[in-house]
Amino acid sequence: MANNRCSVLVCQGTGCVSGGSEHIYNALKDELESSGHDEGISVKRTGCHGFCQQGPMIVVEPRGVFYTKVKTDDVPDIIKSVLPGGKSLDRLFYRDPVSEKAVTHYHDIPFYIKQERTILKYCGYIDPEEINDYTEIGGYAALRKAITWMTPEGVITEVKNSGIRGLGGAGFPAGRKWESCRNAPGDVKYVVCNADEGDPGAFQDRSVMEGNPHSVIEGMIIAAYAIGADKGFIYVRAEYPLAVNRLKTAIEQARQEGLLGDNILDSDFSFDMEIFQGAGAFVCGESTALVRSIEGKRGMPKAMPRPRTTEEGLWNKPTLLNNVKTFANIPLIITNGAGWFARRGTEKSKGTAVFSLTGKVVNCGLIEVPMGATLRKIIYDIGGGIPGGKSLKAVQTGGPSGGCLPAEMIDIPVDFDSLAEAGSIMGSGGLVVMDEGTCMVDVARYFLDFNRRESCGQCIPCRLGTRQMFEILDDITKGKGRPGDIDLLDRLSKSIKRSSICGLGKTAPNPVITTLRYFRDEYDAHIRDMRCPAGVCSMK
Amino acid sequence: MEEEFVDRILASYKGERNELVPILQEVQENLGYLPEKAMIDIARFLGVPGSHVYSVASFYAQFRTLPLGKTRVAVCRGTACHIRGAPLILHEIEDAIHLKEGETSGDLEYTLETVACIGCCALAPCIKVNMDVAGDMTPEKAKELFKGNGNSNGGNRGE
Residue extents of the structural domains in chain A: 6-113, 137-342, 352-435, 440-527
What's the number of CA atoms in the CB half-sphere (13 Å) around residue A379? 29
Full DSSP string of B1-16: -HHHHHHHHHHTS---
Q: Residue B154 pLDDT > 70, yes or no?
A: no
Comparing A2-6, A20-24, A235-239, A297-301, the range with the smallest average pLDDT is A2-6
Q: In CATH, which superfamily holds the domain spanning A137-342?
A: NADH-ubiquinone oxidoreductase 51kDa subunit (3.40.50.11540)
pLDDT of residue B149: 65
Q: Residue B153 pLDDT > 70, yes or no?
A: no
> Alpha-carbon distance B83 to B101, whole Å?
19
Full DSSP string of A417-451: HHHHHTT---TTSEEEEEETTS-HHHHHHHHHHHH
Residues 6+ apart with CB under 8 A from B58: B65
pLDDT band at A3 (very low <50, low <70, confident <90, very high): low
Is B131 an interface residue toward A (CB < 8 Å)? yes
> Alpha-carbon distance A485 to A482, whole Å?
6
pLDDT band at A2 (very low <50, low <70, confident <90, very high): very low
B106, B151 contact by CB (below 8 A): yes
Phi and psi based region of residue A384 (left: phi greater than 0; alpha: psi -120 to 50; beta: remaining): left
pLDDT of residue B147: 83
Residues A139-153 have pLDDT tens digits of 999 999 999 999 999
pLDDT of residue A202: 85
Which one of B17, B79, B114 makes the best mutation probe of the A interface by having the most chain A beta carbons within 10 Å? B79
Mean of the pLDDT values across residues B81-90? 93
B147, B92 contact by CB (below 8 A): no
Residues A231-279 have pLDDT tens digits of 999 999 988 889 999 999 999 999 999 999 999 999 999 999 999 999 9
B151, B94 contact by CB (below 8 A): no
> Alpha-carbon distance A329 to A75, whole Å?
36
pLDDT of residue A99: 81
> Alpha-carbon distance A181 to A318, whole Å?
6
Mean of the pLDDT values across residues A19-33? 92
Q: Residue A202 and residue B61: Cβ atoms within 8 Å?
A: no
Residues 6+ apart with CB under 8 A from A254: A131, A214, A217, A221, A260
The pair phi, psi for residue A414, each rounded to 5°, is -90, 100
Report the candidate in A208, A224, A178 with the shortest Cα–Cα distance to residue A324.
Answer: A208
Residues A93-117 have pLDDT tens digits of 999 877 888 998 888 888 999 999 9
How many residues are there in chain B? 159
pLDDT band at A19 (very low <50, low <70, confident <90, very high): confident
Mean of the pLDDT values across residues A183-206? 92
Q: Residue B9 pLDDT > 80, yes or no?
A: yes
Mean of the pLDDT values across residues A433-462? 95
pLDDT band at A1 (very low <50, low <70, confident <90, very high): very low
What are the helix (H) ranges across A500-538? 503-507, 510-518, 520-527
Highest mean pLDDT (candidates A43-52, A156-165, B95-104): A156-165
Mean of the pLDDT values across residues A129-133? 96
Mean of the pLDDT values across residues A369-383? 96
The pair phi, psi for residue A320, each rounded to 5°, is -95, 120
> Alpha-carbon distance A308 to A136, whole Å?
39
- Chain B residue whose CA is closest to A199: B117
> Alpha-carbon distance A86 to A345, whole Å?
44
pLDDT of residue B152: 42
Q: Residue B121 and residue A14: Cβ atoms within 8 Å?
A: no
A233, A192 contact by CB (below 8 A): yes
> A352-435: what CATH class?
alpha beta
Sort strands B127-129 and A392-397 into parallel, antiparallel or unpaired: unpaired
Sort strands A58-61 and A65-67 into parallel, antiparallel or unpaired: antiparallel
Q: Residue A409 pLDDT > 80, yes or no?
A: yes
Mean of the pLDDT values across residues B131-142? 91
Q: Residue B18 and residue A15: Cβ atoms within 8 Å?
A: no
Q: Residue A279 and residue B133: Cβ atoms within 8 Å?
A: no
Residues A29-39 have pLDDT tens digits of 999 888 887 77
- Cis-peptide, bond into residue B125, ω within 30° of zero: yes
* Alpha carbon separation from A20 to A34, A48, A56, A70, A459 (Å, rounded): 21, 14, 7, 9, 45
Judge whether A137-342 and A352-435 match in fold: no
Mean of the pLDDT values across residues B40-68? 95
Q: Furthest-apart CA pair in chain B: how many Å? A: 52
A397, containing H or E segment: strand A392-397
What rounded mean pLDDT belongs to chain B?
Answer: 89
Mean of the pLDDT values across residues A376-385? 95
pLDDT of residue A406: 97
* Alpha carbon separation from A250 to A244, A266, B26 (Å, rounded): 10, 20, 22
Q: Around Cβ A535, how many Cβ atoms within 10 Å?
A: 11
Is A399 an interface residue toward B (CB < 8 Å)? yes
Beta pairing partners, B99: none
What rounded mean pLDDT belongs to chain A?
Answer: 93
* Dihedral Cα A454, A456, A459, A464, nearest 10 deg: 40
Q: Around Cβ A422, how many Cβ atoms within 10 Å?
A: 17
> Alpha-carbon distance A210 to A47, whole Å?
6
Q: Residue B77 pLDDT > 70, yes or no?
A: yes
Domain at B71-145: CATH code:
3.40.30.10
Q: How far is CA A211 from the centre of its chain?
A: 12
Q: Residue A320 pLDDT > 80, yes or no?
A: yes
Q: Considering only residues 450 to 469 of chain A, which have any Cβ-Cβ distance to chain B shorter than 8 Å?
A: 450, 454, 456
3-state secondary structure A255-295: HHCCCCECCHHHCCCCEEEEEEECCCCHHHHCHHHHHHHHC
State which fold the A6-113 domain adopts: Glutaredoxin (3.40.30)
Is A396 an interface residue toward B (CB < 8 Å)? yes
Q: What is the CA radius of gyration of chain A?
A: 24
So what's the architecture of A440-527 in CATH? Up-down Bundle (1.20)
Mean of the pLDDT values across residues A48-52? 88
Domain ranges of chain B: 2-59, 71-145
Comparing A37-41, A144-148, A185-189, A536-540, the range with the smallest average pLDDT is A37-41
Full DSSP string of A338-381: HHHHHTSB-SSSBSEEEEEEEES-SS-EEEEEETT-BHHIIIII
Mean of the pLDDT values across residues A499-508? 93
Is B87 an interface residue toward A (CB < 8 Å)? no
Q: Which amino acid, residue A472?
A: I
pLDDT of residue A201: 81
pLDDT of residue B1: 64
- Chain B residue whose CA is closest to A439: B83
> Alpha-carbon distance A330 to A341, whole Å?
10
Higher pLDDT, B4 or A512: A512
CATH 3.40.50.720 fits B2-59, yes or no: no
Comparing A35-44, A73-82, A505-514, B66-75, the range with the smallest average pLDDT is A35-44
Judge whether B2-59 and B71-145 match in fold: no
- Chain A residue whose CA is closest to B61: A280
On the 0-12 / 13-18 / 19+ scale of CB atoms within 10 A, A8 is buried
How far does the CA of residue B47 sit from the closest CA of chain A (Å)?
13
Report the candidate in A443, A368, A451 with the shortest Cα–Cα distance to residue A405.
Answer: A443
Q: How far is CA A447 from the centre of its chain?
A: 19
Residue in A358, A438, A456 nearest the CB of B124? A358
On the 0-12 / 13-18 / 19+ scale of CB atoms within 10 A, A281 is buried
Higher pLDDT, B140 or A198: B140
